[in-house]
């Protein structure tokens, strides 16, 4: 299990299915929806001036993030992203 430290958040990137005219489904990460992900795990929060700042996002949130702020990792054949919470811009409700 991956446990993010501080204010880091573990995301699973959404895979967009592109259906062609003939019904063939193309799985791709190349669309503009590439900055939507699912929260898989969250850190305990950053400590600022000795106080822990609570996290806003929670597991299972679908979030929009700044894709230039992520670290890509591969673990047990799955790909994940780690990102500091401040680079998560919005939640899809």
Residues that bind a second copy (CB under 8 A): 1-6, 8, 10, 31-33, 35-36, 43, 56-57, 64, 66-67, 71-75, 79, 82, 86, 88-93
Measured from the CB of residue 74, what is the shortest distance to a second copy in angstroms? 4
Measured from the CB of residue 81, what is the shortest distance to a second copy in angstroms? 10
* For a second copy, the closer CB: 17 or 31: 31
Separation CA 14–CA 21 (nearest Å): 22
Separation CA 7–CA 55 (nearest Å): 7
Separation CA 23–CA 38 (nearest Å): 27
Bridge partners of 25, per DSSP, are 19
* For a second copy, the closer CB: 23 or 49: 49
* For a second copy, the closer CB: 23 or 81: 81
6 and 47 in contact (C-beta within 8 Å)?
Answer: yes
């Amino acid at each position: 299990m991956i446990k993010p430290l501080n204010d880091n958040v573990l995301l699973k990137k959404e895979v967009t299915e592109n259906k062609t005219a003939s019904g063939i489904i193309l799985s791709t990460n190349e669309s503009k929806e590439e900055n939507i992900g699912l929260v898989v795990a969250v850190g305990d929060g950053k400590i600022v001036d000795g106080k822990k700042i609570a996290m806003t996002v929670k597991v299972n949130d679908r979030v929009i993030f700044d894709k230039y702020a992520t670290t890509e990792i591969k673990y047990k054949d799955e790909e994940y992203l780690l990102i500091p919470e401040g680079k998560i811009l919005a939640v899809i409700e």
